[in-house]
Structures are given as C-alpha cells and as structure tokens.
A and B are shown apart, each in its own frame.
Chain A
C-alpha cells in the first residue's frame, strides 16, 4: 500500500475539513506514521469485520433487489430480467395480499398490546408502592421482574412449540383447564385450527414472549428519571395516575418509540412463531404472513426471483412502519419534550 490520498494517516485529519490541520479541532488528532503496525492494524481491525459484513449482509441485500427483477428459479444458471412483472404479479396475487394483511395485523396489535402491558407493569412496579412519602416501588417487585423476563430467555421456536402443545386440542393445558371448569364445549376445541382463534392465539404467543423484556426496558427508563422530578410532582399533589400520565409517559416517550419499532420489526417478521404454530398458514390462510409465504416461494417452489420481490416489499413495509412510528411520535410533540433520553 502506497501513501496516496487513500492513506489512513491523512485520513485522520479529514474530519477537520478540506484543509487538513487548518482548523483547531475539538478532539486531539495526531498523524500516524504509515508503519507496518499501523497498516496491518487498519486492515485487520476495519478490513476484516467490514469485509465480512459486506459479503454476507450488504451484498445479499443488494443482490436481492436485483433478483427481484428477474424470473430466476435458483437452479438454472440462466434467467431473464423481466422488470417489474414480479411486483405486478404480487399485486394481483390474492394470497400475497392476504399475507400482507396478516402481517399488518400482527404489526398493529402486537406492539400496541405488548407496550401497553409492559408500561402498566413497569409503572406499577416503580411507582405503585405506598403513596405516602417518597414515590416508591411496589414491595416484592423483584420477584415479578425476574419472572416476567423468563420468556425472553427462551428461544422463540421453543416458545411457539410449547404454546402449540398447550393449545393442543387433545393433550393441551388450556382445554384441560376449561373442561375442568365445566366448559365441556372446549373438550377438544382446535384453537389453532379455527379462523376465529388462530390469529389471536398467535398474537398472544408473541406478546407472552415479549412483555418481560420491554417491561424491563421501561423500568430502566423510569429509573433514569431524576428522583427530584417525582418529588416535585408529589409535592404538587399528583397521585399515581397523574404521575404516570404527566411525568412518566412524556419523559420516556423515546424509549416507547424504540420499543415500538423493535416490536414492529419482530411482528412483521413473525416467521418462527407462525411456522411453528401453523406451518401451513393456518385455517383459510388466516395466519399466513409475508415471511412465511416468501420462505415457501423460495425454498419449496423454487421461485427465487418472485421471493426476492416479496423480500423487497417486506423491507419497504418495515421502513414504512418505522417512518409512521417516527412521524406519529413527532406529531405528538416528541421532539419538544425536555429531558427525554434521546
């Protein structure tokens, strides 16, 4: 490697503008001589991880966008570029529209319910304690916190399989409990085999696995609020609900936004859960989601071009989802709040 304009030694000064070293920079910078130590350091420390990332993450993403414009089957070497016909085909594919709708339902319900439950629990645990004196947490809340987090440590596939067994019509726990309470009609009710219940059960399983983690996240955020803020509110006569509404919610809104986006991404994927609960897409395809349809199109039907187009649509829907969350938060005044942890 020769000392051209590419050399990292000069690069160190670039942050200061087009004239290296011309302006006093806030951070101390030194020119590093181009020794073997320095060059090998840069190659190994930046080149290796970045190369791995580019080859196995970025390059496949870029290729997917290209393949989505072809009729590639994956097994023959030759294929034609067919422009946007894959996308037109998806647009007219009723099953794909069903899958998009199911994914959208998951992305709508799962974050909303998970965040609501997690927020309520986090508030109960942090400020639910005695209303006398300082605001305090609920006594014995350690137990709830540790237990609620358990599901997050269980692999998603295991969670899904476990609940599939629990909702099993014949050996399942749910029907056992319901029958024991005298509800005979549930003796062998196929929860995952009916349109009315398959999707709600799927949502419940995802929510069950997620609540604990986001509860913990919100607890951490609430504890980040200075104690004086709570004391001031308390002195002004704010009760618990008032504290939650006027202090906690505005101050942790950015954490809520982050949670919303993470959960949306998880729900829009949802593959593990639907695949384990209903591998075939559920009754009348009521739990078929985009990712599952994509997987089937690619690895069962061997239509990789079409599957890539689905992947692009999925990525666009995910971006759209994030954009909506951001703009809703901003529309509600998220930017103006002082003291929010950004």
Chain B
C-alpha cells in the first residue's frame, strides 16, 4: 500500500531532469537495502528458532547452522508432555479467553455509561482510569498479592482472570469511550422512545453497532494478555496453574544446567504460533486500528 497514489495531474513530472532520475533510483535502492536488512534481522532469528526446534541436543551443540538430520517432532512431544507446555497452553487459553470476554463486556459497559450518560464524577472516573493506564504495575504488585491472598483467590485461575480483567480495563475503556462517543445519539434515543429500557438499548442497539470498534481493541487485548508476564509470575505460583509465559520462564532458570535446548526451542515455537496466526489473520484490521489509536 503506497501512501498517496491518488490519480492527480502528472504535469509536475516535467520538473525533474534526467540527472535527478539517477539519484532517485539510488535513493529507492538504498531504501530497499535498508528495509531488507531489517527484514532479515527480524526473520532470521525466528527461522533459526524454528529450525533448531527440530534438532536434538547433540545437533544443536555441534553446529548452530546445520540443518536438522531429520524432521521429527520429538522435541514438541517432550515439551508438550514432560515440560507440561500442554497444560500451560490450556491454562493460558482458559485465562486469556475468559479475561478477554469479560474485559470486553465490562469495558464496553463501563465506557458506554461514561460516554453516553452524565453524572457527577464522570470525568473523575475517566481520569482515574487514565492514571491506571500509566502507573507501573510494579507499584501495585506487592499489595495485590495480599489482596488476592485475603480474598482467597490467589493461585486460582478465576483469580488470575479477575486480575487480568482489572488491569486490561483502563486500556479498553480508554479506546471504547471515544468509540461510543462517536456513535449517533439518535439511535439510542429512538430505541428508548420505542420503549426499550437501558439494558435492551445497550445490548440490542448499541453493542452490535460497537462491534467493529471492539474487534481491534480485542486484538490488542489478546496480544497483551497472552504476553502477560509479571502478574502470573507474582500471583500464580502453583505449578499446575501456570500459564505459558511461566513455563517459558522456567526454561530460563534451568538454562545452563543440563538444558534441554531442543524442547526449549519447541516450547518457544508452541507459544509463538497461536499469536502469529492471529496476527496474520487480523493484520489488516490491526493496522487500521493502530491508525485510529494514534489520532487520540
């Protein structure tokens, strides 16, 4: 997609002499070279990781370049079963799925009421949410540990879901607020005139209209929650409740001491594949929503 290719008069072309055309090509050439080098820096490590995930430990240690002797999925099986990556994967899906659903629902409800109703403290709540967006989670992590302990929900998956929701809420509200603000007032008023209550107006009229805006926020929330590290590491310490990022981190702490490099690479690939698939499927929409997000 090039920037501004609208069909405009081409007359100004004449301003450029032949001499500049050569320089022009050089600049474009340099641009391609620079960008291609970056593309290699991005892709090469990922390909290397993928390749290494098919090698056994001796192959990995003997040469970082050699292709795997045979393509076998032993490392994946070991990672999935012996290193419990399978269990962590399922936990992650449950936690991220549950938190994503709840945060989108609660976020939409909260931003709708902030955007469409007037009541005292409305802007106060909005700014409080903004503050929650900028404060470092690190400041909250210690007391949060004990809040959850006292509520008896530390080390449980529902507990982790609730914390994920609470910390993803400010971002969600911040973006959906602007979105609900932009929806036409007439729609909700018409619904209310027709006798729909506040609940029905929201769920049958406003929420369906908000779905396109919510989709992009949901993608960003998915990436953010799937990548979440500090919250589970500090609050979710029981091994059978671990999520993927903790499983990966445990490889880190083992590293150096009889490390099973092969299954480490495999675990990395297992963690990356779902996110990469989501990204490739939604990359057009994601880029559109980045555009929206920057206009705030």
Q: Which A residues contact B (CB, under 8 angstroms)?
A: 8, 11-15, 27-29, 32, 35, 37-38, 40-42, 44-46, 48-50, 52-53, 55-61, 63-64, 67, 74, 117, 120-121, 124-158, 160-166, 170-173, 175-176, 180, 208, 211-213, 216-217, 220-224, 227, 230-231, 234-235, 237, 240, 255, 258, 265, 268-269, 271-272, 275-276, 279, 290-291, 294-295, 298-299, 304, 307-308, 311-312, 314-315, 318-319, 322, 341
Contact = CB atoms under 8 A, between A and B. Distances in A.
Q: How large is the interface on B (under 10, 10 to 19, 20 to 34, 35 or more residues)?
A: 35 or more
- Give the 10 A-B CB pairs with smallest separation, nearest first: A137-B2, A11-B119, A220-B291, A56-B166, A176-B64, A311-B139, A63-B143, A60-B140, A49-B110, A60-B143
B117 interface: yes
Nearest to A6: B120
A171 B261 contact: yes
Contacts of B138: 269, 271, 290-291, 294-295, 311, 314
B255 interface: yes
A140 B291 CA distance: 20
A61 B142 CA distance: 9
27 contacts: A11-B118, A12-B119, A49-B110, A50-B110, A50-B125, A52-B106, A53-B166, A56-B163, A58-B132, A67-B142, A74-B145, A74-B146, A121-B34, A134-B4, A135-B4, A144-B39, A146-B283, A147-B43, A150-B279, A155-B226, A157-B249, A161-B264, A163-B45, A212-B42, A223-B3, A231-B4, A255-B294
Contact of B272 (A45, A158, A165): A158
Contacts, number: 341
A175 B63 CA distance: 11
Contacts of B251: 161
Given A11-B118, A134-B4, A224-B291, A45 B24 contact: no
A253 to B, nearest CB: 12
Contacts of B248: 155, 157-158, 161
Interface string B1-43: 1111110101011011000110010011001101110110111
Nearest to A125: B35
Interface of B: 1-6, 8, 10, 12-13, 15-16, 20-21, 24, 27-28, 31-32, 34-36, 38-39, 41-46, 48-49, 52, 60-61, 63-65, 106-107, 109-110, 112-114, 117-120, 122, 125, 128-129, 132, 134-147, 162-163, 165-167, 169-170, 173, 185, 189, 197-199, 202, 223, 226-227, 229-230, 234, 244-245, 248-249, 251-253, 255, 261, 264-265, 268, 271-272, 275-276, 278-279, 283, 286-287, 290-291, 293-295
